[in-house]
Amino acid sequence: MFIIHQTESDDIQPHTLWAFQKSTDGQIDELQKISVMGDEEEKEKKNRILCKNCKNPVTSAENIMVINGMHRHTFSNPHGIVFEIACFSSAHGCVNGGLPTAEFTWFAGFSWRFSFCSRCHTHLGWQYLSKSGEHFYGLIVDNIIEGTTK
């Protein structure tokens, strides 16, 4: 609500504009929620894990997961190629390909399938699945970076 108040005097006084707004507790709560949401979005942007090739957001530091006592592991595949992987509970920026297989798995009780960047299709790692429905991602450290997006 805006109130315009003109003083009464013989002198010509400029009009003074006073702005008042009465906020209810509900409106204040809503403004605080919006502020907190903005802070959380900013924090999430700072904690993002991106595809090194195209900077597509893949996951976030909040999804870091410890498997067999460690977040990071180093393994080699049957061809002798060595991979350092980091484990995450989810990777929304990945698409998964292939049928799950337990052949040459690095994690007992888990089958695996390939995970690719959903934007540029770079091989980012593997999704691991258990028969009980548990899953996690092992992402290749050399193919991801920490960063922010706009």
- In the block, which residue shows the tokens 């292939």? 98
Q: Biggest alpha carbon distance in the chain? A: 97
pLDDT for the residue 140: 98
Q: 47: pLDDT confidence band, cut at 50, 70 and 90?
A: confident
Q: pLDDT of 11-44, one tens digit each?
A: 444 444 444 445 556 666 666 666 555 555 555 5
Q: pLDDT of 70-86, one tens digit each?
A: 999 999 999 999 999 99
In this prediction the pTM is 0.71
pLDDT for the residue 148: 80
Rounded to whole angstroms, how far apart are CA atoms 101 and 128? Answer: 9
Share of the chain above pLDDT 90, in %: 67
Report the chain's mean pLDDT, rounded to a whole number. 83
Rounded to whole angstroms, how far apart are CA atoms 51 and 58? Answer: 6
Q: Is 42 helix (H, G, I), strand (E, B) or coil?
A: helix
Q: pLDDT of 106-133, one tens digit each?
A: 999 999 999 999 999 999 999 999 999 9
Q: Which domains does the chain carry?
A: 1-150 (2.170.150.20)
Rounded to whole angstroms, how far apart are CA atoms 144 and 128? Answer: 18
pLDDT for the residue 22: 52
CB 98 within 8 A of CB 89: no
Amino acid at 70: M
CB 106 within 8 A of CB 100: no
Share of the chain above pLDDT 70, in %: 68
